[in-house]
Chains A and B, each alone.
Chain A
Amino acid sequence: MKPAPFEYVVAGSWDEAVAALDGDSRVLAGGQSLVPLMNQRLVRPRRLVDISGIPGLIERRRGALRIGATVRQAALERSTLIAGGWPLLRQAVRHVGHPATRARGTIGGSVVHADPRAELICALIALDARFTLSSGRAVHGPLQLGPGELLTAIEVPRLQPFAKSAFVAYARTSGSFADAAVAVVLEPDRAADAVLGAGRAGEAEAAVRAGASATDAAALAADLVDGDHHRALVAELTRRALVEAGHA
């Protein structure tokens, strides 16, 4: 399990990183997904551009949360800004891998790697996050990077006062990829319900706003996924998440 030969470039800034990228390159952030794939030789880039040294901050800008792409997952767990204003991210990141992988893995790496089982993506979707790219573009919704484009930051809008959130997952063991997970954000006039790998459950959200019970709304969320056991998991996890976020 050693990678095929590759060239290694350290980028000190986003401009340097963009300049170093070509069609045969891959970006190395925390490496917790990419390096195992390279070690199995399933991914064989000619050049690796290491952006992990580019500084990234967790900060509040005009009320919104801005997280640099290279911020380690472990930093999300420790941030008091996140704990106070966007606790869903803290709730979700605890389901991502293990403490050792969270110490290296980055939030940007999770987003760009776009594994359908990525818990952080599910939470960011529930939070209506926007992705800022090196080209200056900002993307809301599914992230498609153009050639030579890099994710540089993630912006999460301010939540309304009295917002409540919950992240509930079922995984075979603590730290393994979840078989199903649900992120819920309930605000006085907004309900967000994101299902791992399937996006927002619009009908369930509408039902919650219309006063449906958690069980009834959860049944609608299950319609987003295939497979009867998977549906049962999503229904139960949605119900629990809604109850945990204060919806009966």
Chain B
Amino acid sequence: MGVASTLGQPVRRREDARLLAGRGRFLDDIELPDALHMAFVRSPHPHARFELKRPGRLTFTAASVAGRVAPPQIVPPPGLTVEPIPHPVLADGIVRYVGQPLAAVVAESRALAEDLAERVEVEYEPLPAVDDPRAGETMVRWEKSEGDVAGAFARAAHVVRSERVIPRLVAAPMETRGALAAMEGGRLTVWTSSQSAHRPRAQLAQSLRMSEDELRVIVPDVGGGFGSKGTLPVETPLVAFAARELGRPVRWIEDRRENFLAAPQGRGISGVVELAFDAEGRILALRGRVLADLGAYLLPSTPIPPHTTAMLLAGCYDIPAVEVFVTGARTHKVPTGPYRGAGRPEAAYLIETAMDTAARQLGVDPIELRRRNFVRAFPHRTALGWTYDSGDFEACLDRALELVGEPEGHIGVAMCVERSAGLFEHASVTRDGEVRVGSVPAGQGHETVFAQIAADKLGLDVDQITVITGDTDEVADGVGSFASRSTAMGGSAVAAAADDLLAGGPGVARFESEQVFTSGAYVAVVEVDPATGAVRVVKLVAVDDAGRIINPLLAEGQVVGGAVQGLGASLLEAVDGAPATLHDYSLPTAGEIPAFATAFLESPSPHNPLGAKGIGESGTIGAPAAIANAVAAAVGMRLDPPFTAEKVWRALR
């Protein structure tokens, strides 16, 4: 005892000594000498009928795995109407996106497996492809209506309409996805690069018709997920199946080309927001239409982002009446899924650009218009149905305006609200400082934050704590790391397990809570070169209220990293038309990173003992909307991202 608590202190990342020195152990670092390598035959067509000619003995096809490997189940958020269109494990006679796997082969090396894959003869008969979601069949439908929307629009002094498009994005984690599977002592062990261990185990059990006891899932170090590793790749059950069938370990490490073709993409949302204002600039009602380009099939998490987009459409404003429709359309593209923000950036972009458009139309300063409409009392149940637990939106905005000072260039302001946490998390803690938790890190710093929380409870030094994650044999239960939930849920579970231990119990806890709501204010300062159209983001101000901050160093890292991904989405990134590669899809580099000013306000969440909220996605939510508003101010008209030099130059002419 007597060790000072480090909660709230900028403790340096304990995992960095290992990760930065190259001692991390990622999926492809796990050596199983006898392992076969799997490669996939993928469709070169967006839509085609096909026939496989003479598949070899070691070729897995839809026919050879029929009835033995099931596609993943779709579990939509409550209230969504979802068509039963799961992603097939392997395409059966028809392919619906470029990159869809239709056969798999194994060989002694990846190069040999690729040789075999290209020798698989496939005859394609191309079919017409749907590229535009407006022309696609409906796979997901949701609507919500509350209050007298028609009456509000009828008596409104001003009606503002804003229509915006957010293109599809690639998550592009530094480490691609993959799986390694091996039979060990009568059980199947699957190593996977994932944001969860227990969910893949449940999905694999369902896919392979095994009991969870027969499966062990291990997640080694993970080089980034950004949501794209929260969904089990459709390839993974096949890797596991092959290892069981062949009695030899099987490895599939997704290469960069496959990652761009076949990993779920983010965004791909267009939306219309209509706002009814009274004469004083108070919002009376909101009408929203969200159209999502979901791609060819539904992965388990595909319906989540459009639903979250709709549920957060009111942003941080007190809007008494709403009417929102969501349509998820089927196109001949790789499925979408959560990508850092997963509906939150879309919602912030739609409402915050609409607020700037409204300010111009009403002749009111955009900052003043926001102030007139902020939610000011908490808890606040929005007309859409979620309850914001705590916050102080105006204080965030005031702090952000202080930090931006008197900039040179055009500024754009955006507020953001994000749902985080929810469901449950499991943890156990021992007297000698072993912490086991169901959260699974992909680089965020869990080994540091969870150690801080446990050390604080047990009166130990942070370095006396060992954090164990990502192994279903080591950790009894868990959900994983997505929706910015690890500190609020995993951290609270660790705190509760330590409390249990100190109270004489076994040191085990399952912590459950409803969602909590992080908020923030972002300001972007941009310069536009009228001769070339080039946009430079000079400065980004991020003020976030994520409740109690356990480690401000790590929290700031999350904000800056997220904002840089948001910067990429604003200036550079879009998948439009043909599938991208790193040759044509630019990611931001150190050279494009602007000056940052960050700050935290702390409105503790009442829903967990730490008072914590999520911070992992804030930057990707606030930065793009702020940059969009700054670019609109600079150009004098509204554009949709990415704000490429050519697009801006044309707008200026």
- Give every chain A residue within 8 A of B529 (Cβ-Cβ): 236
Decide yes or no whether A1 CB sits under 8 A from chain B. yes
Cα separation A1 to B533 with both chains bound (whole Å): 36
Decide yes or no whether A172 CB sits under 8 A from chain B. yes
Decide yes or no whether B257 CB sits under 8 A from chain A. yes
Q: What's the minimum C-beta distance from A33 to chain B, rounded to whole angstroms?
A: 11
Decide yes or no whether B531 CB sits under 8 A from chain A. yes
- Give every chain A residue within 8 A of B533 (Cβ-Cβ): 229, 232
Which residue from chain A places its CB closest to the CB of B646 in the assembled complex?
A: A229
A1 touches B255 (CB 8 A): yes
A232 touches B649 (CB 8 A): yes
A232 touches B531 (CB 8 A): yes
Interface residues of A in 1-21 (CB under 8 A from B): 1-5
- Give every chain A residue within 8 A of B256 (Cβ-Cβ): 1
User: With A1-B255, A233-B532 as given contacts, are A175 and B110 in contact (CB-CB < 8 Å)?
Assistant: no
Binds A, one of B482-490, B520-528, B581-589, B621-629: B581-589
Chain A positions 205 through 248: 1 when the CB is less than 8 Å from some CB of chain B, otherwise 0:
00000000000000000000000010011011000000000000
Q: What's the minimum C-beta distance from B460 to chain A, rounded to whole angstroms?
A: 42
B111 touches A3 (CB 8 A): yes
Q: What's the minimum C-beta distance from B106 to chain A, rounded to whole angstroms?
A: 14
User: With A2-B114, A172-B572 as given contacts, are A229 and B649 in contact (CB-CB < 8 Å)?
Assistant: yes
B532 touches A170 (CB 8 A): yes
Query: Contact partner of B257 among A3, A40, A173, CB < 8 A?
Result: A40
Interface residues of A in 141-184 (CB under 8 A from B): 170, 172-176, 179
A170 touches B586 (CB 8 A): no
Cα separation A226 to B170 with both chains bound (whole Å): 31
- Give every chain A residue within 8 A of B645 (Cβ-Cβ): 170, 172, 179, 229, 233
Which residue from chain A places its CB closest to the CB of B110 in the assembled complex?
A: A2
Query: Contact partner of B591 among A3, A170, A175, CB < 8 A?
Result: A175
Cα separation A229 to B591 with both chains bound (whole Å): 23
Decide yes or no whether B650 CB sits under 8 A from chain A. yes
A4 touches B589 (CB 8 A): no
Decide yes or no whether A113 CB sits under 8 A from chain B. no
Decide yes or no whether B534 CB sits under 8 A from chain A. yes
What's the tally of chain A residues with a CB closer than 8 Å to chain B? 19
Decide yes or no whether A41 CB sits under 8 A from chain B. yes
Q: What's the minimum C-beta distance from B46 to chain A, rounded to whole angstroms?
A: 19
User: With A2-B110, A5-B115, A232-B649 as given contacts, are A172 and B644 in contact (CB-CB < 8 Å)?
Assistant: yes
What's the tally of chain B residues with a CB closer than 8 Å to chain A? 28
Decide yes or no whether B365 CB sits under 8 A from chain A. no
- Give every chain B residue within 8 A of A236 (Cβ-Cβ): 529, 531-532
Decide yes or no whether B473 CB sits under 8 A from chain A. no
A173 touches B114 (CB 8 A): no
Interface residues of A in 98-141 (CB under 8 A from B): none
User: With A5-B115, A236-B532 as given contacts, are A174 and B589 in contact (CB-CB < 8 Å)?
Assistant: yes
Cα separation A2 to B112 with both chains bound (whole Å): 9
Decide yes or no whether B118 CB sits under 8 A from chain A. yes
B534 touches A170 (CB 8 A): yes
Which residue from chain B places its CB closest to the CB of A237 in the assembled complex?
A: B532
- Give every chain A residue within 8 A of B114 (Cβ-Cβ): 1-2, 41
A173 touches B531 (CB 8 A): no
A173 touches B586 (CB 8 A): yes
Chain A positions 12 through 53: 1 when the CB is less than 8 Å from some CB of chain B, otherwise 0:
000000000000000000000000000011000000000000
* 13 residue pairs from A and B, CB less than 8 Å apart: A3-B111, A4-B115, A5-B111, A172-B572, A172-B645, A173-B592, A175-B589, A229-B649, A232-B532, A232-B533, A232-B649, A233-B532, A235-B531
- For the complex of A and B, 8 pairs with smallest distance between CB atoms: A174-B591, A2-B111, A236-B531, A1-B255, A229-B646, A172-B586, A173-B589, A2-B114
